[in-house]
């Protein structure tokens, strides 16, 4: 298992180059990948089911060609980025794309969970250079019109090996991550999924459960909604996230999320005990540890993050 | 029990006036109250234990006089705002201020919990016009140098009756709330404390418990901190709140907070069951309800709120 160390430019894998790059799924992330790789690829093709999205991407110069035909879109590519929702990535990898790709094509996805996808990639034909990817970046808005070449700047870009990851695959993926301005971090898919359950999927569930709790109270006293202020706004923002994206994530990361919920319940129980027993010194000490941990994070890592949910 | 209806200017209580206003505790809220009431009071005295705070408030013209002597500070006042932390308010009301105030003085506090304070106010000498108050406003920064005359604009200002609240007290408090630009909402202290447990104290505890959960994971894998992004930032912000303010709040609202924690655990258990049983349709429906509730809130009430916690 990698220690997840940063790969700085000095020790970097060399520059990313592609004669023909194809991005499948031109949403916020796919569109931003295409924009960010503009200077590194001679030709960019976009594959998307939505005609308006294709038109927009063409008219904005995000892609050179656009099609709704996967086979046609990837046939000439030497590098393919899968940027659809997680379960669509699974379907593409398991059922279709292996037969369409040329040998030695770099295939990388940008899905939010990695274990299922990397396992599926392992079943691709030998010769496909497949690797799992997850750039840790987001934005309040979704869709190609929110795409941004700078979305990945300074953000971690997790890379997870598959059975189809050769040394050359790894070098090409590292260079792709650096080309979009991100900081590549290599780790096993299992470790990634546990980490994102911790820092992304659990927070979303807590946000949704909080909103649901307030909604229950709001049924008997509407003033609950009226009095809610900035603290509730922050804590409820993630609950506004895209549901199909989140259910895709949960269906492919159930075990890790359930484990983290169990860990969270332990922490909440400690807190509740300190509160109910009126152990004020213990409560203050516990809350101070949380505050200090949060402030250290904000100082060390918190400056570069994009906002994940909706307003 | 009041239905918490808005008191608009047309049906309002008339303009607030004070010959001599005293604000006890020149922090963010006290300083902002003094600034916001500048045009409505002939003279403003500030009481604060901290010499730097008094000097700052004097030099900025936030107050006309400043002292660390409570008796001296309130002796000439016809209106007194208590803006110290909750337990200091309790001590002032129970042990000291009753003997110092002139008859017919309006005494209002701005503490975050109301039941204990309003109960204590009921024990003040007859003739003191005492009422509990809670302007639902905050800011990332604390202290008098962060004070802002516009802090309360458009925000709810809860008013809770005590045994020392006469009809005249009520009218004066309503006019004070409107003078600072807030929207007064009258309700019983018990109802207020249950509502703020729901929309303020529970969210804080969840934020702290989330940070603690991430910190536990971070001990075995430091990359948890490194990968955390905007979602974690939003959800952990409240954990950075002032600890002594929060422990004051919990010590005076233990029962309501414990009740809300129990309600929250029910919602979390429903969510966990849907997740683990892989009931995808049920999970999507539940999450959609939370998302819609959040979006309705943001649309109806979410625009005017200040940010409660730290960055």
Question: B-chain residues within 8 Å CB-CB of A177?
Answer: none
Of A135, A123, A232, A127, the closest CA to residue A176 belongs to A135
- Which architecture does CATH list for B18-187? 3-Layer(aba) Sandwich (3.40)
Q: Is A300 helix (H, G, I), strand (E, B) or coil?
A: helix
B307 pLDDT more than 50: no
CA distance A309 to A253: 19
CA distance, residue B124 to nearest chain A CA (Å): 27
Cβ proximity of B38 and B97 under 8 Å: no
Q: Is B237 helix (H, G, I), strand (E, B) or coil?
A: helix
The runs of H, that is alpha helices, within B180-253 are: 189-196, 202-220, 223-227, 230-236, 243-251
Query: pLDDT digit string (tens) for B79-135?
Result: 999 999 999 999 999 998 999 999 999 999 999 999 999 999 999 999 999 999 999
| Pairing verdict, β A106-109 and A18-24 | unpaired
Query: pLDDT digit string (tens) for B253-267?
Result: 999 999 999 999 999
B142 pLDDT more than 90: no
Contacts of residue A8, Cβ cutoff 8 Å, sequence gap at least 6? none
CATH superfamily of A192-304: 6-phosphogluconate dehydrogenase C-terminal like domain (1.10.3660.10)
Query: pLDDT digit string (tens) for A1-28?
Result: 344 444 444 455 789 999 999 999 999 9
> pLDDT value at position B12?
58
- Which architecture does CATH list for A9-187? 3-Layer(aba) Sandwich (3.40)
Domain limits, chain A: 9-187, 192-304
Residue B104 Rama label (left phi>0; alpha psi -120 to 50; beta)? left
DSSP states of A96-161 as a string?
Answer: IGGGTSPTT-EEEE--S--HHHHHHHTTSPTT-EEEEEEE----SS-SGGG--TTTTTT-EEEEE-
> pLDDT value at position B298?
93
Among candidates A187, A284, A294 on the partner chain, residue whose Cβ is nearest the Cβ of B239: A294
User: Could you tell me the pTM of the whole model?
Assistant: 0.90
Could you say which residues of chain A have pLDDT below 50? Answer: 1-10, 304-311
Top residue of A205, A212, A292 to mutate, by most chain B CBs within 10 Å, is A212
Q: What percentage of chain B exceeds 90 in pLDDT? A: 87
Instruction: Give kind and range of the element (H or E) at residue A190.
Output: helix A189-196
Top residue of A7, A244, A267 to mutate, by most chain B CBs within 10 Å, is A267
Among candidates B138, B215, B254 on the partner chain, residue whose Cβ is nearest the Cβ of A230: B138
Question: B-chain residues within 8 Å CB-CB of A309?
Answer: 230-231, 234
Partner-chain contact A202 B210, CB within 8 Å = yes
> pLDDT value at position A142?
84
> pLDDT value at position A139?
76
- Taking CA A154 as the corner, what is the angle to CA A149 and CA A156, rounded to the nearest 5 degrees? 105
Of A232, A224, A229, the closest CA to residue A207 belongs to A232
CA distance A161 to A184: 13
CA distance B238 to B207: 6
> pLDDT value at position A311?
35
Partner-chain contact A297 B236, CB within 8 Å = yes
Question: A-chain residues within 8 Å CB-CB of B223?
Answer: 4, 185, 187, 191, 195
CA distance A117 to A100: 18
Cβ proximity of A190 and A255 under 8 Å: no
Predicted complex ipTM exceeds 0.95: no
Of A19, A15, A16, A17, the closest CA to residue A76 belongs to A19
Among candidates B136, B233, B270 on the partner chain, residue whose Cβ is nearest the Cβ of A227: B136
Among candidates B221, B236, B293 on the partner chain, residue whose Cβ is nearest the Cβ of A294: B236
Query: pLDDT digit string (tens) for A154-201?
Result: 999 999 999 999 999 999 999 999 999 999 999 999 999 999 999 999
Partner-chain contact A207 B235, CB within 8 Å = yes
Give the mean pLDDT of chain A: 92
> pLDDT value at position A12?
58
Residue B77 Rama label (left phi>0; alpha psi -120 to 50; beta)? beta
Instruction: Give kind and range of the element (H or E) at residue A89.
Output: helix A86-91
Percent helix / strand / coil, chain B, rounded to 5: 55, 15, 30
**Cα end-to-end distance, chain A, whole Å:** 37
Instruction: Give kind and range of the element (H or E) at residue A216.
Output: helix A202-220
- The least confident of B144-148, B208-212, B229-233 is B229-233
Top residue of A148, A291, A303 to mutate, by most chain B CBs within 10 Å, is A291
Sign for the pseudo-dihedral over CA of B1, B4, B5, B8: positive
């Amino acid at each position: 298992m990698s220690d997840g160390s940063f790969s700085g430019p000095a020790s970097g894998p060399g520059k990313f180059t592609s004669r023909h790059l194809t991005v499948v799924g031109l949403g916020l992330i796919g569109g931003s990948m295409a924009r960010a790789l503009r200077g590194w690829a001679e030709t960019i093709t976009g594959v998307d089911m939505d005609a308006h999205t294709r038109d927009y991407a063409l008219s904005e110069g995000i892609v050179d060609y656009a099609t709704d035909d996967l086979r046609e879109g990837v046939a000439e590519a030497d590098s393919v980025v899968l940027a659809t929702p997680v379960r669509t990535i699974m379907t593409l990898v398991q059922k279709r794309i292996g037969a369409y790709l040329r040998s030695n094509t770099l295939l990388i996805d940008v899905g939010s969970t990695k274990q299922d996808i990397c396992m599926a990639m392992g079943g691709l034909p030998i010769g496909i250079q497949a690797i799992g990817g997850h750039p840790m970046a987001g934005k309040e808005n979704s869709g190609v019109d929110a795409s941004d070449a700078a979305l990945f700047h300074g953000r971690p870009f997790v890379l997870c090996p598959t059975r189809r990851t050769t040394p050359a695959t790894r070098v090409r993926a590292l260079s792709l991550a650096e080309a979009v301005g991100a900081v590549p971090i290599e780790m096993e898919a299992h470790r990634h999924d546990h980490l994102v359950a911790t820092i992304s999927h659990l927070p979303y569930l807590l946000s949704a459960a909080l909103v649901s709790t307030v909604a229950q109270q709001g049924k008997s006293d509407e003033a609950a909604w009226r009095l809610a202020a900035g603290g509730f706004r922050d804590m409820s923002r993630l609950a506004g996230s895209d549901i199909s994206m989140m259910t895709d994530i949960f269906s492919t990361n159930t075990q890790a999320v359930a484990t983290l919920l169990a860990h969270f319940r332990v922490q909440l129980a400690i807190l509740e005990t300190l509160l109910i027993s009126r152990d004020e010194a213990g409560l203050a000490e516990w809350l101070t540890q949380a505050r200090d941990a949060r402030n250290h994070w904000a100082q060390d890592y918190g400056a570069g993050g994009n906002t994940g949910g909706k307003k």
